[in-house]
Amino acid sequence: MKYAIPIILVAVTVALMVLGLYVTGQAGITVGVTKGSALHTARASTPDQAVTNLLVDVQRRNWDRAFADISSTSGISEQAFIQDWMGSNGSLLSFSALEGFDSRPLHATNDEAQFRIRLHFSTPVGPLEDVRDIHLIREGAVWKAVWPKVEVPSVPAQVVPVNFLRWDLVTGSADDEWGSKTVDAPHVRIISMNAVGSAEGAVVMGEVTNEDTIPAFVTVNATLVDAAGNPIDEESSFDKIAHVLLPKQVTPYRIDFPNLNLKNVKNVHMDVKASLVPASADPVIGVMNQKIDSDVQGKSVLSGDLLNQGGQTVNIPHVIASFYDNDGKVVWVSDGYVDRALLPQSSQPFAVEIPKALAAKVHSFHVVVNQFSLGKS
């Protein structure tokens, strides 16, 4: 059946994520230190030794020793400290491992210091980076980190009304295969396409819409063709698209062609495929407080908050944003995963990067949110 392969791919991805969680939990260790590889010292007599001690212990999941590197003035329990690194509620952080780190001092005195650390995580959806600032103080002859108190959303017991739309698939007879003469596939259409060159290669991006009255599982492929009419390369949008589209919904898509010069491309052949899938409009995720600003590293980012308005936990939220110029043309599509679970009636911050060369051209933007929940197909 036409929809079998996309659904199988999604199922395999979810299975690998669950396997990654199981293996991580069973192994009790992480990969070796790839960055920040200085040896752990018993007593941190300098701020940089204290940072290295802490991160090496976290990387190796020596939690008791890592928590011993935290100042008692922090006011955080060991369990909360571990949860801050390991995640909870089936979040992306729960499936991740600290692969390496970089650190640099921001300022230091005889009694306190501030360090900025760049953390490199490996996850089932690819590399993930996080930047944190750590405050350190000297306690006698030893330096320790002051860890901020972790604010865990508290979800009270409540009844959340369920009034969302839902579409189920009913299995018919052998003659009623999806895509046959009796059951048509959903009608979807590519409404924009833009091919650009970047430092990493060629990029094809745009938007696709579901024009039908039923949900669709959508995949977008692009083939780059040279001046002689020969195909150069073919790629798929993979996860840089909201695959499940409800009726009349629009999603951005982005297709990357690494290490390929757009000057060698004469034409782009687009192909969009759609299959029937069961779907629902729940949970509803609101995108709040959106703004384009600079982060602590000076990068241009679109940031905001995701609000779960439903009654079910969203384990891994995935944000996809399309950016438009003054003429309404899609000039970039960016995406990013939120490493914390989105609990019912709670919010989590998000940020996706905008290339520095394009930031001045951005006039408006549109955000959609993919959501992956354990136990749901």
pLDDT exceeds 70 at position 6: no
Q: How many CA atoms lie within 13 A of 353 on its CB side?
A: 11
Strand partners, 70: 145
Sign of the Cα torsion 296, 348, 302, 373 reads positive
Mean pLDDT of 238-265: 95
The C-alpha atoms of residue 300 and residue 23 are separated, in whole angstroms, by: 36
At 109-165, the pLDDT tens digits run 999 999 999 999 999 999 999 999 999 999 999 999 999 988 777 788 888 888 888
The C-alpha atoms of residue 40 and residue 51 are separated, in whole angstroms, by: 10
The C-alpha atoms of residue 258 and residue 268 are separated, in whole angstroms, by: 16
CATH architecture under which domain 11-146 falls: Roll (3.10)
Q: Which CATH superfamily is domain 282-372 in?
A: Lipoprotein YajI-like (2.60.40.1620)
| Fold: same for 11-146 and 164-279 | no
The C-alpha atoms of residue 174 and residue 181 are separated, in whole angstroms, by: 13
Mean pLDDT of 203-227: 96
Residue 203 in 3-state DSSP?
strand
Continuous segment of H or E residues that includes residue 349? strand 347-353
The C-alpha atoms of residue 292 and residue 254 are separated, in whole angstroms, by: 20
Position 171, amino acid: T
Q: Under CATH, what is the fold of the domain 164-279?
A: Immunoglobulin-like (2.60.40)
Q: Domain boundaries in the chain?
A: 11-146, 164-279, 282-372
The C-alpha atoms of residue 154 and residue 94 are separated, in whole angstroms, by: 19
pTM of the full structure? 0.82
